[in-house]
Amino acid sequence: MVLFLYFRYGILYQKVMKRHTTLKRSTEENILLSMLDDSETDIFSVRQIRKLASGRVRNIQSILEQLSKREPAFIYRLEKGKYVKRNFRNEYAIGNFLVGDGAIAYWTALNLHGLTEQFPNTIFVQTAKQKKATTVFGVTYKFIKVKRTKMTGIEKQGYGNNQFRITDKEKTILDCFDLPEYSGGFEELVRAFVITALNAEKMVAYCEAVNSISAIKRMGYLSELFKKEKFERFIAYALMKVNERYSLFDAAGKNEGKHISKWKLRLNISEQNILDIANNLY
């Protein structure tokens, strides 16, 4: 008798649970999830889903909110109007998606290009828009606002939903010399510049767009000091950009050290120490 009741109520419990899990989603919720699967869409906005649905689903905003509140959730809300499917975790694609014109940049880009072994615990995104830092799935995103004219030198990596925009090697290094506080360490940046094969023509074009005289002087000085290969064109360009105001070689360092009149730089890191940074590479 006990076994019979156990079996009977066990079957009943399974039926109730099956009904709970399969019938709780509405027809429109199932249609929307199917559309996402069929189109292989993992990260999306309400606007994109409306276009994809073409009138087949009404009250899309409400349905998305319902799906995000399920236990477990079928989709997650990144911020107002932006969502990802349950298992999508590409932090670089998410960083791009959080700000429409964004590109992975600075320390994060240095690491992705293999120019530093230091791994940032923040994803840096360059954008022409104002946006506060945010945290998604435990990852912190910091958005660095620049003039729209500085949004250049951007390439794409990855495929499909995992594709994201990132500053190329030349632009990444220039951006870090422009705003070294986001580079992950000045010594690492100097190392990256010294050892990386860079396109001098790209550097000139990007320097024109960014127009950071201090950054140009720092890179020009390093190019000449280390006799950087095929950088004669850049050195000549950088010399033309030298102004009368002295800049600190390390912007975060003390206002002290030898003055280099040719480059209008104050070496608050000694030239020998700069050379030692390079010698530690080999």
Same-domain pairing of 214 and 151:
yes
Residue 39, CA atoms < 13 Å, CB-side half-sphere: 16
Tally Cβ neighbours within 10 Å of residue 25.
Answer: 17
Q: Are strands 139-145 and 122-127 parallel, antiparallel or unpaired?
A: parallel
Domain stops at, among 85, 119, 134: 85
Domain stops at, among 85, 107, 127: 85
- What pLDDT score does 1 carry? 52
Same-domain pairing of 38 and 114:
no
**Euclidean distance between CA atoms 167 and 171, whole angstroms:** 6
Are the C-beta atoms of residues 251 and 258 closer than 8 Å to each other? no
Same-domain pairing of 159 and 255:
yes
Same-domain pairing of 109 and 192:
yes
CB under 8 A, 24+ apart: contacts of 62-66: 63/26, 63/28, 63/29, 63/32, 64/32, 66/26, 66/29
- What pLDDT score does 237 carry? 98
Of 40, 75, 272, 276, the C-alpha closest to 163 is 40
pLDDT-based confidence at residue 10 (cuts at 50, 70, 90): low
Of 241, 246, 244, the C-alpha closest to 265 is 246
* pLDDT tens for each residue of 145-173: 999 999 999 999 999 999 999 999 999 99
Q: What is the arithmetic mean of pLDDT over 103-130?
A: 94
The enclosing H or E element of 82 equals strand 82-85
